[in-house]
């Protein structure tokens, strides 16, 4: 059975899969990013996003490459305020994930909601773990991940942390409550980095 790709609402936002018709919204979303946000999300400085790249980012198969957006309403149009995606690696049980939320829309639970939806979809597709590469300086993302069971591997020479998040425990338990410890199982071998861009 196909996983539930329905439309959800959180606050004033509609959560739905990205679609090829979202290309202009993706470009506008990228233009709204500060250089810090671009660096945190993509891992390198990027001053512009090409139309081809934006098309690639929105036009995904929604199976091996799943992308969800949080859309606000602006007049008659939708405006993209957050994106979360995963991409399966050479090991189909591990998918790399990334999330980015517009600066003015942070700390409203958008990343948490998108992440939990991604976990449900990934679980339905047989993905067992999410993998994320986060720079040591990215305190917001590190704090975000610390809400969920995870394990880490510090890649000192690159200044990045590899995070592994077991999906079953995330979908069953939800975020950790105060006093709970993250899962302690052994990290998998790092998948070959698969740029989510
Ligand atoms: C990291 C990021 C995605 C978080 O998005 P968000 O929508 O603001 O996160 P949420 O509102 O869902 O936060 C959920 C929880 O994560 C933690 N958290 C998120 N941002 C935090 C911050 N800046 N400082 C401390 N804790 C933070 C908190 O525990 C928060 O719960 P709370 O607000 O109830 O305290 C956002 O800051 C972002 O887009 N950063 C730039 C892009 C990026 O780094 N992406 C990661 C690439 S892998």
Q: What pLDDT, in 10s, does the model give residues 135-157?
A: 999 999 999 999 999 999 999 99
Query: Regarding beta strands 160-166 and 129-135, do their DSSP bridges make them parallel or antiparallel, or are they unpaired?
Result: antiparallel
Residue 182 forms part of a structural domain: no
Q: What is the mean pLDDT of the chain?
A: 87
Q: Is the CB of 109 under 6 A from ligand 1?
A: yes
What is the pLDDT confidence band of residue 43, given thresholds at 50, 70 and 90? Answer: confident
- Shortest-distance atom of ligand 1 to CA 133: 48
Residue reference for tokens 């189909």? 92
Residue 93 forms part of a structural domain: yes
Q: Is the CB of 41 under 6 A from ligand 1?
A: yes
* Ramachandran quadrant class, 188 (left: phi over 0; alpha: psi -120 to 50; beta: rest): beta
Taking residues 113-126, report their average pLDDT: 95
What is the pLDDT confidence band of residue 177, given thresholds at 50, 70 and 90? Answer: very low
Residue 16 forms part of a structural domain: yes
Residue 97 structural domain: 8-173
Q: Is the CB of 99 under 6 A from ligand 1?
A: yes
pTM for the whole structure? 0.88
Residue 178 forms part of a structural domain: no
Under a CB-based contact definition with an 8 Å cutoff, are residues 152 and 162 in contact?
Answer: yes
How many whole angstroms separate alpha carbon 25 and alpha carbon 77?
Answer: 10
At 139 the pLDDT is 97
At 4 the pLDDT is 60
Among 196, 147, 146, 143, smallest CA distance to 175 is for 147
111 Cα to the center of ligand 1, angstroms: 6
Task: Give the whole-number percent of the chain exceeding pLDDT 70.
Answer: 83
Residue 186 forms part of a structural domain: no
Task: List the CATH number of the domain containing 48.
Answer: 3.40.630.30
Q: Is the CB of 107 under 6 A from ligand 1?
A: yes
Residue reference for tokens 């859309």? 71
Q: Give the number of domains in the chain.
A: 1
Residue 166 forms part of a structural domain: yes
78-100 confidence digits (pLDDT tens):
999 999 999 998 999 999 999 99
* Of residues 153 and 3, more confidently modeled: 153
Name the DSSP letter for residue 146: T
- Shortest-distance atom of ligand 1 to CA 102: 39
What is the pLDDT confidence band of residue 44, given thresholds at 50, 70 and 90? Answer: confident
Residue 102 forms part of a structural domain: yes
Under a CB-based contact definition with an 8 Å cutoff, are residues 18 and 58 in contact?
Answer: yes
């Amino acid at each position: 059975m196909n996983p539930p790709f329905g439309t959800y609402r959180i606050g004033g936002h509609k959560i739905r899969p990205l679609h090829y018709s979202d290309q202009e919204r993706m470009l506008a979303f990228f233009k709204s990013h500060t250089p810090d946000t671009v660096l945190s999300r993509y891992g390198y400085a990027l001053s512009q996003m090409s139309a081809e790249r934006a098309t690639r980012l929105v036009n995904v198969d929604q199976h091996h490459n799943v992308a969800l957006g949080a859309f606000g309403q602006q007049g008659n149009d939708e405006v993209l305020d957050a994106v979360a995606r995963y991409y399966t690696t050479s090991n189909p049980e591990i998918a790399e994930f990334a999330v980015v939320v517009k600066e003015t829309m942070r700390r409203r639970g958008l990343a948490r909601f998108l992440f939990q939806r991604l976990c449900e979809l990934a679980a339905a597709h047989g993905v067992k773990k999410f993998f994320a590469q986060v720079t040591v300086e990215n305190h917001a993302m590190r704090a975000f991940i610390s809400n969920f069971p995870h394990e880490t591997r510090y890649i000192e020479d690159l200044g990045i942390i590899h995070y592994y998040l077991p999906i079953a425990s995330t979908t069953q338990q939800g975020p950790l409550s105060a006093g709970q410890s993250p899962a302690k199982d052994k990290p998998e071998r790092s998948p070959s980095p698969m740029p989510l861009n």
